[in-house]
Structure 1
Amino acid sequence: MADADAASIRAARGEWADEHLRSYLESGGAQGHVLDLSSVGGHALTTHCLIKCVGRKSGRVHVKPLIYGNVAGEIVIVASKGGADDHPQWYLNIQDSETIGVQIATQAFEATWREPEDEERHAVWTYMTHLYPPYLGYQTSTTRRIPVVMLKTVRPIPAFTPADA
């Protein structure tokens, strides 16, 4: 693919992601929780959460929309970055924190996080690839092992607002 084509695709995705985040935040979570991702290989009813973490270098608060699943009462997110060779910044940022914020639709929580290992990781990864099949292609496009993160809610917190982003 030509560099100009790749740049155009990245720009379009960035605009879409910015609009998704804005809609989720401005609606208090009433919009943006479920999206139709069938046009990109996902499902018509794909669930999204928001995570809120602090930048490990900047100290700034960042809010990011992510596809999520639920396994045995824990929220599961995937640090895919579309199959890039480096980890997403949000994943690097949470490694410096014991807890992060997570919002599902209109409800937000403080949550602890962990990475499943061995057989549990395999089962959770398989589940997440059924929720969003493009994860399989993302994994084959990179040599890094795409992290799977499980969040356990600790306590309710106020829903995120545009001022948080």
Structure 2
Amino acid sequence: MTDIKLPDYLPSWMSDHVNSYLADGEAAHLWDASLGGGVGMLTTLLLTTKGRKSGQTLIIPLIYRPSGDGGFCVIASKGGAAAHPAWFLNLQANQEIQVKVANDEFKAVAKVTSGDERERLWKLMAEYFAPYTSYKAATDREIPVVVFYPA
């Protein structure tokens, strides 16, 4: 992952996490969720997308859980904001993404889940990171549940 840019809107603790993850994915794979209102050490991955407006390669950390079918499940919550997060809009515009889980880097494809699969994975993620429940209550939009599969 070279020539990447951290989005300008990232808080410093998130930028620090990305930089640590890039230096040693195994050491930074677990993130202290108390920084984001959760509890304990949670698994994170790095998602690399191409900015739909800027064209720049952008990277962001996301909490994940294994989806049970070889994928990595994430939530496009943006803290319950009315609009989808930029990373989600970027991958809608360009499916060429890269994922780093610990020290394993791979090209991936993203699937936005629906129906029973979405409900199962939402529950899995909300049990893992409780703030997702309050994010859901804070917005009228359906928060996307996305699974990244190695390409």
TM tier relative to shorter chain: 0.7 to 0.9
> Are the counterparts in 1 of residues 113 and 144 from structure 2 also a CA contact under 8 Å?
no
Task: Supply the distance in 2 between the matched residues of 1:39 and 1:79 (Cα, whole angstroms).
Answer: 18
Give the 3-state SS of the residue equivalent to 2:52 in structure 1: coil
Per-residue deviation at 1:131?
1.1
C-alpha deviation, 1:41, in angstroms: 4.0
SS in structure 2 opposite 1:30? helix
- 1:105-144: CA deviations, max 9, x gaps? 1111101111111111111101110111100001101111
Structure 2 counterpart of 1:71, one-letter code: S
State how far apart, in whole Å, the 2-side matches of 1:81 and 1:39 are.
15
Q: How far has the Cα of 1:43 moved from its partner?
A: 3.1
Question: Would you say the 8 A contact 1:83–1:139 is kept in 2?
Answer: yes
**Does residue 45 of structure 2 align to residue 23 of structure 1?**
no
Q: How does 1:4-19 map to 2 (within 5 A)?
A: 14-19=11-16
2:50 aligned partner: 54
Distance 1:84 1:138 in 2: 8
Q: Which runs of 5+ in 2 are unaligned?
A: 1-8
SS in 2 for 1:59: coil
Equivalent runs, 1:2-151 vs 2, <5 Å? 14-27=11-24, 29-38=25-34, 40-72=36-68, 73-151=70-148
Summarize the Cα distance change of 1:55–1:40 in structure 2 as closer, same or farther, 3 Å threshold. Answer: closer
Gaps of 5+ in 1: 1-10, 155-165
Could you say what secondary structure the match of 1:47 adopts? strand
TM-score scaled by structure 1?
A: 0.81
Identity fraction in percent: 37
Give the CA deviation at 1:40: 4.6
User: SS at the partner of 1:142?
Assistant: coil
- Number of residue pairs aligned between Structure 1 and Structure 2: 142
* CA RMSD between the two structures: 1.6
SS of residue in 2 equivalent to 1:101: strand
Shift of 1:57: 1.1
Distance 1:62 1:119 in 2: 31
Match of residue 159 from structure 1: none
3-state secondary structure, aligned to 2:74: strand
Look up the SS of the partner of 1:85 in the other structure: coil
